[in-house]
Structure 1
Amino acid sequence: MDQTIYLFIITTLSILLLLVLVMKLKVHAFISLLLASTFVGLASGMPFMDLIANLQKGMGDILGFITIVVGLGAILGKLLEVSGGAQTLAHFIIKGFGEKRTTWALMLTGFIVSIPVFLDVGFIILIPLIYALTKKSGLSMLHYAIPLLAGMAVTHAFIPPTPGPVAVAEIINANLGWMIIFGAVIGLPCSIIAGPIFGRYISKEIFVPVPSHIEFKADTETPRKSDFYMIAFVITLPLLLILLATTSGMFVGLGYLDGDHFLVGMAQFIGHPFMALTVATLIASYFLGFKKGFKAKQLLEFSDKALAPAGLIIVITGAGGMFKQILVESGAGEALAQVFIEYNVAPIVMAYVIAVVIRVIQGSATVAMVTAAGMIAPVIMGLEYSEPMKALIGIAIAAGSCILSHVNDSGFWLVKKYLDISEKQTLQTWTVMETIISLSGFLIVLLLSIFIS
């Protein structure tokens, strides 16, 4: 058998093994990815100790970056949560948009809040607002909930420094600045289509009242406008600093700036994700922590709690790094690239399809993203794509990881529980919304890829 075909079959079998371990045998995703990586290494003839060394290298290379970024992002999000920042943002955005455009305000609120805050946490924080708006208007709760969820789901999947896109960017070696740019450019239209537009339609088809067990309490405290400005500043600061580094690097490449200039070096330094998130976290610790009356001990406790869920994402991402490294060193990634070239399959399409298949079958968006990124990374390395194109491939993976959320996804049950709807209604609402995000996102990615090489 031709070596290229043999290695391609091994790669395919490793994905099947991963799915069997996760779905059928209920093995943790981290261990499943480790076993799938080991299978590829051994089946390709890699010496035992080389396999161990490559597993270690793959894990270490990605954790050196992802641990710091995800850890700092989780602490920043926790500070926003405990300070009441999400509610403050929602209050002023809704006030600014006006009562008639509340759904658009909720979409934007979800879009912004989900940058530093995990989707499930952000939704739980803001669901009382959805209950209150529904009670006041008499409309279906879906009229307000779907736009909020759409904004959150898009940002959670598309825009760093949320863990998923950060992991994908690191595995495929894509620039975070370009990921942020394309995540926003592609994500906003997706949020509009899946949020206010779909929400308006589905709320007329399915009436969902406020759950009967919900008790309403009068709001006695109006958030201060100064808090709103501070929270908006804290959330957008790391994004702006990262974009500053990307922009300065682009101008250096075009010859407009001297790469050795002190200011360029400073922009690159302060705009590195490590420093950008460190600066934002320190500012948040002071203004959303100490200024809100929290003590140093409490802030330490918040950090500990924030890092607990982040740890799970970090180890799964590390396993994705191992998978990528084994594919590269075994030659399986090169074989995959050869198959793509021979059958004229665009990596951007294959990246989306792989993420879709894994997402639908096993449910976890994170596992779908890191696995698809691990498989496509060697292909990208072989074809030498530009930074913008690699970022587009990263967004394609993110879009694929959103599709058809159903009963094997924790997000499905979270929405069902807090909206108090049936499984069928959750499929008709949340699942369709996620699929709209996925398909519209991928179509925009394909459109943009025509103009970017």
Structure 2
Amino acid sequence: MDTMDPVYGSGTLLLIAAIAVAVLLVLIIVLRLHAFVALVLVSLGTAVAAGVPVADVPTISIAAFGSTLGTVALLVGLGVMIGRLLEVTGGAQVLADTLVSRFGEKRAPLALGVASLLFGLPIFFDAGLVVFLPIIFSVAKRFGGSVLMYALPAAGAFAAMHAIVPPHPGPVTAATELGASIGLTLLVGVVIAVIAWVIGVYVVTVTWLGKVHVPIDDSVLTGGREVEEGDRPAFAHVLGILLLPLVLIGANTVLTTLRTNESIAAEGGLVDVFVFIGQTPVALLIALLVATYTLAIKRHSRAEIESLLNDALGPICAIILITGAGGMFGGVLRYSGIGAALSDSLADLGLPLIVSAFVIATILRVAQGSATVALTTTAGLLSAAVVEADPSSLQKVALVLAIAAGATVLSHVNDSGFWLVGRFFGMDVKTTLRTWTVLETTLGVTIFVLALGVWAIG
């Protein structure tokens, strides 16, 4: 979706954005208006206030809504179905029991986080989270307490990998724009992601945010049925089903990265097949079919399986709609020219290059929600300045990390990930702000501090 020529100056656009976010928070938190309705209402009002022609407002809003759903709905729907089958066949219980036996109760959050870091290398945030939902809930139910003690380390791990490690689209695009080596960005990014997760996610969770009590509510996934131990699948079987989409997606992202680098031909029959089956929705569909015909068909009739999968979709209707409406809000903010106004206002402040990268990405992230958009926009804005400054190869990687750090902090109501995490784990908006928003901020700030260290070394 293109950006229109701004009708107002930068100051007015910034004021409109600030008022829109404030009104949205009041509608949801104070007036208790349903988040979906509030987001649609504020999106339309913001578009009109920003000078979008009234006749174009519905078209622009629906396009942003549909664009978000196109990337989220398939992932959420297929992922929840896989999670449902793992739950009702006892697969999630097997995974939870294995984690418990190998890591123990006190290390369960650590085990979930480490597994998410590994799985998060090839898989996107949304897909990784929905695949891990049954595991998180199973471990949380076993030990009790707040679900956040187990949910936040896993979700934070996926967020860290998605933000700064190629072959995820944001860091790949940013590295390309700035002329940084994708291979070096990958090597440094993995190390930084692990360190940032330990400091900014795991430590913060076990000492603070995990103690915020949120009851365990796994109604999104399960009807609460227990599976006899003798009827549960083998651990290797369950792990294979989880690894299948990850392997397919990993192959896709590696091949796509190699094509971007021109290391392999732009076209090729076998490569095209792997790229196709490694598309996240296709990979999840394949995993769902494998789970259906190797796990569920042995334990349930075809009619029961159909009913189970159908029932799995019902609870996520609100999640999908709210996520789409959040994308609508972010899309309206982008289309109105607020992002460009922010970039133009900050580019000439005279800050050090790495600080400017963090500040611009942070404000773009807060204004329009999308971490990927903040990453790519900031990188494009700073590309000319990077050429002029001629930093070292390692310093270019540090710039990518700084931009990613700014694009991670302060996740709030215009970020689809904010709504996914909040609704999946049964949090209201206020609780999501004081937990997930804080966690994303501590993660992003930690990444930025580490990026400053890389910049100094380089």
Q: 1:301: Cα distance to partner?
A: 2.1
Corresponding residue for residue 318 of structure 1: 324
Task: Identify the residue that residue 164 of structure 1 maps to in structure 2.
Answer: none
Match of 2:450 among 425, 447, 450: 447
| 1:426-446 CA-partner distances (Å, limit 9, x unpaired) | 9xxxx7899567514541255
**Unaligned regions of 5+ residues in structure 1, if any?**
132-140, 161-167, 206-218, 359-369, 415-425
**Distance change (3 Å), C-alpha of 1:97 and 1:373:** closer
Whether 1:251 and 2:254 are equivalent positions in the alignment is no
Is 1:154 paired with 2:160? no
Counterpart of 1:68 in structure 2 is 74
Q: CA RMSD in A?
A: 5.1
Residue 286 of structure 2 corresponds to residue 279 of structure 1 = yes
Deviations 1:318-360 (A, max 9, x none): 112222332233223321222332445746556657878x9xx
- Which amino acid letter does the alignment assign opposite residue 444 of structure 1? I
CA distance in 2, matches of 1:16, 1:27: 14
- Measure the CA separation in 2 of the matches of 1:396 and 1:282: 39
1:331 equivalent in alignment to 2:351: no
Matched, 1:57 2:55: no
Task: Measure, in 2, the Cα distance between the counterparts of 1:52 and 1:440.
Answer: 36
Whether the 8 Å contact between 1:334 and 1:378 is mirrored in structure 2 is no
Structure 1 residue corresponding to 2:142, chosen from 113, 118, 129:
129
**Matched ranges for 1:48-447 at <5 A:** 48-97=54-103, 104-105=110-111, 108=114, 115=128, 117=130, 124-130=137-143, 148-155=150-157, 189=195, 192=198, 221=229, 227-291=234-298, 293-343=299-349, 346=356, 348-349=358-359, 371=369, 376=374, 379-380=377-378, 383=381, 400-401=410-411, 435=438, 438-440=441-443, 442-444=445-447, 447=450
Q: Which of 18, 29, 38 lines up with 1:23 in the alignment?
A: 29
- Are the equivalent residues in 2 in contact too, given 1:107–1:192 (CA < 8 A)? no
Distance 1:398 1:334 in 2: 19
TM-superposed CA distance for 1:18, in Å, is 1.2
Once the two structures are superposed, what CA deviation does each residue of 1:40-93 show, in whole Å capped at 9, x if it has no partner?
Answer: 221222221111111121112222232111111111111122122222112223
Q: Tell me, what secondary structure is at the counterpart of 1:275?
A: helix
Specify the alignment match of 1:35 in structure 2: 41
- Listed one character per residue, the Cα deviations across residues 365-392 of structure 1 (whole Å, up to 9, x for unaligned) are xxxxx84659948945963889998898
Q: By how many angstroms is 1:248 displaced?
A: 0.7
Instruction: Go from structure 1 to structure 2 and tell me whether the alpha carbon gap of 1:84 and 1:442 turns closer, same or farther (over 3 Å shift).
Output: farther
> Normalising by the residue count of structure 2, what TM-score does the alignment of the two structures yield?
0.65
CA contact (8 A) 1:241 1:276 kept: yes
Of the three residues 44, 50, 67, the one matched with 1:44 is: 50
CA distance in 1, matches of 2:194, 2:135: 18
Residues 400 and 438 of structure 1 are in contact (CA less than 8 Å); yes or no, is this contact kept in structure 2? yes
Contact 2:153 2:202 in 1 (8 A): no
Are 2:342 and 2:360, in contact at CA under 8 Å, matched by a contact in 1? no
Quote the residue 1:213 is aligned against: none
Q: Report the Cα offset of residue 28 of structure 1.
A: 1.7
CA distance in 2, matches of 1:283, 1:200: 36
- Alignment partners' CA distance in 2, 1:234 and 1:300: 19
Q: 1:74 to 1:352 in 2, by over 3 A?
A: farther
State the shift of 1:260 in Å: 0.9
Question: 2:87 is aligned with what amino acid?
Answer: E
Q: 1:271 & 1:449 partners in 2: Cα distance?
A: 35
Structure 1 contact 269–275 (Cα < 8 Å) conserved: yes
- Normalised by the length of structure 1, the TM-score is 0.66
Alignment correspondent of 1:367: none
Q: Would you say the 8 A contact 2:108–2:139 is kept in 1? A: no
Distance 2:137 2:338 in 1: 43
- Equivalent-residue separation in structure 2 for 1:324 and 1:435 (angstroms): 20
| CA distances 1:384-406 after superposition (whole Å, capped 9, x unpaired) | 8899988986776555449xx9x
Task: Tell me, in whole angstroms, the C-alpha distance in 2 between the residues paired with 1:433 and 1:13.
Answer: 23
CA shift digits 1:404-441 (9 cap, x unpaired): x9xxx789988xxxxxxxxxxx9xxxx78995675145
Task: Report the counterpart of residue 423 of structure 1 in structure 2.
Answer: none
One-letter amino acid matched to 2:259: V
Cα offset, 1:22, TM superposition: 1.3
CA–CA distance in 2 between the matches of 1:234 and 1:181? 28
SS at match of 2:98: helix
Counterparts in 2 of 1:122 and 1:37: CA distance versus 1, 3 Å: same
Aligned match of 1:6: 12
Paired AA for residue 439 in structure 1: T
User: Across the two proteins, how many residue pairs are aligned to each other?
Assistant: 388
1:279 to partner: Cα distance? 0.8
- Distance, in Å, in 1 between the alignment partners of 2:305 and 2:291 is 11
Cα contact 1:159–1:184 (8 A) shared by 2: yes
Amino acid at match of 1:151: P
The one-letter code matched in structure 1 to 2:268 is H
- For 2:194 and 2:77, the matched residues in 1 are separated by 26
Q: Which moved more, 1:1-10 or 1:243-252?
A: 1-10
Q: CA deviation at 1:275?
A: 0.8
Distance 1:149 1:222, change over 3 A: farther
Instruction: Report the CA distance shift for 1:238/1:382 in structure 2 as closer, same or farther (over 3 A).
Output: same
Alignment CA distance shift 1:263-1:319 (3 Å):
same
Gaps of 5+ in 2: 1-6, 121-126, 163-167, 176-182, 212-226, 384-395, 413-417
Cα distance in 1 for partners of 2:34, 2:442 equals: 29
C-alpha distance in 1 between matches for 2:407 and 2:31: 26
- Identity over aligned residues, as a percent? 28
Which residue of 1 is the match for residue 392 of structure 2?
none
Instruction: Please say which of residues 339-348 and 52-61 is displaced more in the overlay.
Output: 339-348
Offset of 1:247 from its aligned partner? 1.0
